[in-house]
Structure 1
Amino acid sequence: MSAAFDADALARLFVEARAHRAKLDTLAEGARPSNADEAYAAQEATLRLLHAGIGGWKVGAKSLDGPIQGAPLPADGVHGSGARLAVHAFGKTGLELEVAFRLGRRFEPGSGPYRDEDVLGAIESVHAAIEVVASRFAAWPDVEKPWQLADLQNHGALIVGEGVPYDAAFPFVSPAMTFTFDGAPLFQGEPANPAGDPRRLLAWTVNHSVSRGLAIEPGTVLTAGSYTGIAFSDAPGIALGAIEGLRPVELHFA
């Protein structure tokens, strides 16, 4: 981490932007993260300033063997199916349909490293989830990648459907699904997660968290990348995600 970067200064900008529903045009030189380590430091500083517990993690990769990145999600931004949110609270807003995993055990800070089998064995339930993608930057999505990562990886809110027990035979690579907004489809073609099987992202997330001194508490939700790409919506309405074999998930934008 460069000596010039001030994670707390960037976190203050993010927290103020959230509080005032404002957008940042640029960042002062000392508040510009230039790599993933600086971005992760800013994520953690943001949650501290928000006095927010971690209710979940969002994690993803752009390709089958590409680097993995993640962000902790404030607990008050993780909602159950049927949640009603104000669409204008987010500014430009994207919607994604994802598969999320709820863990049933605690992973201690500083423990590990954990293998895939260790984390898969801790899965309590599997869920359909709608990720509300939103940014604190006015120019988003045309924003430096480390800046987006620092901004909790463009997190707006996470809506989590009711869970079903984990079944290793579930077709995680390409499950059948529909995603609609007021009945109109939000994506075309075959659903696919760019990371491939999202379960490959879970051990990385747990190891990343505990290596940075952050516990994974029982009940934590890990959402692991979009199958539908991003669909933008700036109007009131109802988003409905249905993934075959999982319970549906519903978001009401008012």
Structure 2
Amino acid sequence: MFVDARTRRAWLDALPQDAQPANAEDAYAVQHATLHAMRDSIGGWKVGAKTPTGGPIQGSPLPASCVYRSGAELSRGSFNQAGLELEVAFALGRRFEPTGGPYTDEQVLDAIESMHATIEIVTSRFSGWPAVDKLWQLADLQNHGALIVGEAVPYDGTFSFVAPAASFTIDGAPLFDSAPANPAGDPRRLLGWLVNHGVSRGLTFESGTVLTCGSYTGMAFPEKGGVVRGAIDGLPPVQFTLS
């Protein structure tokens, strides 16, 4: 149903009773079945949390066909909705294999090779989104539409990850008006969980895998297209054209 909705750019009103995930494990199984049905590989991962400590962490693999480099042009009509988020991502400098896990947070942090500004396009296959069952959203690749990845800079552990200075605009007009902050606090705390989440399901994180870690700006819904540009101080800016 998810793949058909993507292909036809159609809406789902609800999932049939016998197709509803009963728990997070069901939802994660649907994520991977979706990529398999799309005949797509994993092009990166997203991970996030709603609070700096104590709350649940959730993640999703990203279809390789939905990951782009800065400068891409994407059609607004490709998405049922187009919520825009400015994020920071990390690229790994080594492989993590299922046979070596579980891994410590220190092992994962030591493996970070580079960091990037990213823009995620958030969307849903459900007509009632965001007022949709949380497990349905998790199963739906955690509301993923596309990821635009900025140029790399070497990882710097002294970077201001909790609340960096940032700007997020479309054709020069601001997309947010509050102080940048990640609801998870320091997004690096999510990386160990994500790698272990993946390898526990028999998946390998290859060197160069991009892990994007939640929004600093909330979600913006521009009324029209234009050049979307995100700048986080200390990182090369990331941009794309929403046509």
Structure 2 length as normaliser, TM-score? 0.98
Indicate if the aligned counterparts of 1:56 and 1:74 stay in contact, CA closer than 8 A: yes
1:234 positional shift: 4.7
Name the count of aligned residue pairs: 242
Query: Of residues 58, 66, 73 in structure 2, which corresponds to 1:84?
Result: 73
Give distance in 2, aligned partners of 1:69 and 1:110: 23
1:34 positional shift: 2.6
Question: Quick one: percent identity of the two aligned structures?
Answer: 65
Give distance in 2, aligned partners of 1:176 and 1:34: 40
Matched, 1:232 2:227: no
Query: Any idea what the Cα deviations from partners look like across 1:158-202, whole Å, max 9, x if unmatched?
Result: 000001000000000111000001111111121000000000000
- The structure 1 segments of at least 4 consecutive aligned residues displaced by more than 4 Å after TM superposition are none
Query: Any idea what the Cα deviations from partners look like across 1:203-240, whole Å, max 9, x if unmatched?
Result: 10000000011111111110000000000125221110
Structure 1 residues 58-207: aligned runs within 5 Å: 58-65=46-53, 66-207=55-196
Aligned twin of 2:31: 43
Query: Of residues 13, 31, 34 in structure 2, which corresponds to 1:25?
Result: 13
Partner-residue secondary structure (3-state), 1:232: coil
The one-letter code matched in structure 1 to 2:12 is L
Give distance in 1, aligned partners of 2:34 and 2:93: 26
Structure 1 residues 237-248: aligned runs within 5 Å: 237-248=226-237
- Segment of structure 1 superposing worse, 69-78 or 110-119: 110-119
Indicate if the aligned counterparts of 1:93 and 1:234 stay in contact, CA closer than 8 A: no
Indicate if the aligned counterparts of 1:177 and 1:244 stay in contact, CA closer than 8 A: yes
1:104 positional shift: 1.6
Give distance in 1, aligned partners of 2:181 and 2:96: 30
Query: Any idea what the Cα deviations from partners look like across 1:117-148, whole Å, max 9, x if unmatched?
Result: 11111111100000000001111111000000
Query: Any idea what the Cα deviations from partners look like across 1:24-82, whole Å, max 9, x if unmatched?
Result: 01111111113211100000100111111111110000001111000000111111001
Matched, 1:54 2:47: no
Give distance in 2, aligned partners of 1:23 and 1:109: 36
Instruction: Report the aligned-residue RMSD.
Output: 0.9
- Where does the alignment leave 5 or more consecutive residues of structure 1 unmatched? 1-12
Partner-residue secondary structure (3-state), 2:154: coil
Give distance in 1, aligned partners of 2:216 and 2:62: 20
Give distance in 2, aligned partners of 1:201 and 1:72: 14
1:93 positional shift: 1.1
- Where does the alignment leave 5 or more consecutive residues of structure 2 unmatched? none
